[in-house]
Amino acid sequence: MGEVLEQFFILVGLLVCLVYLVKCVRFSKCIFLRFWKVLPRSFLKSMGQWAVITGAGAGIGKAYSFELARQGLNVVLISRTLEKLQATATEIERTTGSSVKIIQTDFTKDDIYEDIKEKLKGLEIGILVNNVGMLPDLLPRHFLNSPDEIQSLIHCNITSVVKMTQLILKQMESRRKGLILNISSGVALFPWPIYSLYSASKVLTPYAVSTPMTKYLKTNMITKTADEFAKESLNYVTIGDETCGCLVHEILASFLGHIPPWVFHSGAFRKLLLACYVDYLRRNAALGPPRGAARAAGVAPLAVAAEDRAARPPGGPPEPEGPCHGSST
């Protein structure tokens, strides 16, 4: 009996060592990317002539559109706001020489995909970037106090990924090549108090990226600009089935992965998260987006509203809706 237990524990130990060895190898690929595998410049273009990007009017989607066009692909921009699409398309054509098609649609609806399918007919699509997404509300709040936009959020953050993949995967399969990038969020990897609705709908997982949806977070070592993130993340497409898109976000995910789950579920963590968020709103009350973009209005009142909303008990009386729900479309 003793020998059997000894063999069992040896086997368990070997399996644990193997798991950590695989993790170390994967992490080393992120650090020493150029030594493991350098993507030739022709790799992305070899997937097909066209790339389709959802939520391409601003933020990460817009950055991917420019980066893929620079890599030599023609791009199809799909988003909600026609003016943004037209401006982005004109700039891409002028700066890269790539062909651009635009499709105006609202991903919070579920009856849009036949029209998209018809407009994509005849294109050799090699890359699909499922980027479109929305926050149910910028302000943190309990799930039971969330606004009545759950169906719209599901259509935008979840249904769009499934439907767009279903539309395009068939032709990729027939050509036996293609690349699909599903842009999620780092908050999907861990319990995220007072943002549970958004994190549950986002289950490529980046962390902080400065975009219109995040109200142009101040960039630093961890917070990337959309252009920086899009450019760096395309080098990580062969790392594995899931990636945070850049080295600093991989390090952050690894660190957070060692924190016990009960910490994320604790009331202290929720209060800390809320305090940081309120402090961020107050510090940025007088700041606007970079490069002359429109100033984020009403940020100071949002700090007070954030404290009030998050303090409400789950299932409490509904509060009046504000105008600050965000979308990357």
The answer as to whether 171 is a domain residue is yes
The answer as to whether 297 is a domain residue is no
The answer as to whether 21 is a domain residue is no
**Per-residue pLDDT tens digits for 52-92:** 999 998 888 899 999 999 999 999 999 999 999 999 999 99
The answer as to whether 87 is a domain residue is yes
The residue behind tokens 């510090």 is 283
What value does the mean pLDDT of the chain take? 73
The band of 320, judged by pLDDT with boundaries at 50, 70 and 90, is very low
The answer as to whether 114 is a domain residue is yes
Domain boundaries, position 153: 31-260
**Per-residue pLDDT tens digits for 234-273:** 766 655 555 666 667 667 767 777 777 777 667 787 777 7
Whole-model pTM above 0.75?
A: no
**Environment class of residue 63 by beta-carbon count within 10 Å: exposed (0-12), middle (13-18) or buried (19+)?**
buried
Report the pLDDT value the prediction gives residue 296, as an integer from 0 to 100: 39
Selected residue with higher pLDDT from 324 and 170? 170
Selected residue with higher pLDDT from 180 and 216? 180
Phi, psi torsion values for 281, nearest 5 degrees: -65, -40
pLDDT greater than 70 at residue 171: yes
CATH of the domain at 204: 3.40.50.720
The answer as to whether 248 is a domain residue is yes
Give the mean model confidence (pLDDT) for residues 191-196.
54
Q: Catalytic residue numbers? A: 198
Report the pLDDT value the prediction gives residue 252, as an integer from 0 to 100: 72
The answer as to whether 290 is a domain residue is no
**Per-residue pLDDT tens digits for 275-319:** 776 776 676 654 444 444 434 334 444 444 545 544 554 444 444
Report the pLDDT value the prediction gives residue 262, as an integer from 0 to 100: 73
The band of 103, judged by pLDDT with boundaries at 50, 70 and 90, is very high
The answer as to whether 291 is a domain residue is no
Report the pLDDT value the prediction gives residue 162, as an integer from 0 to 100: 86
Indicate the number of domains in the chain. Answer: 1
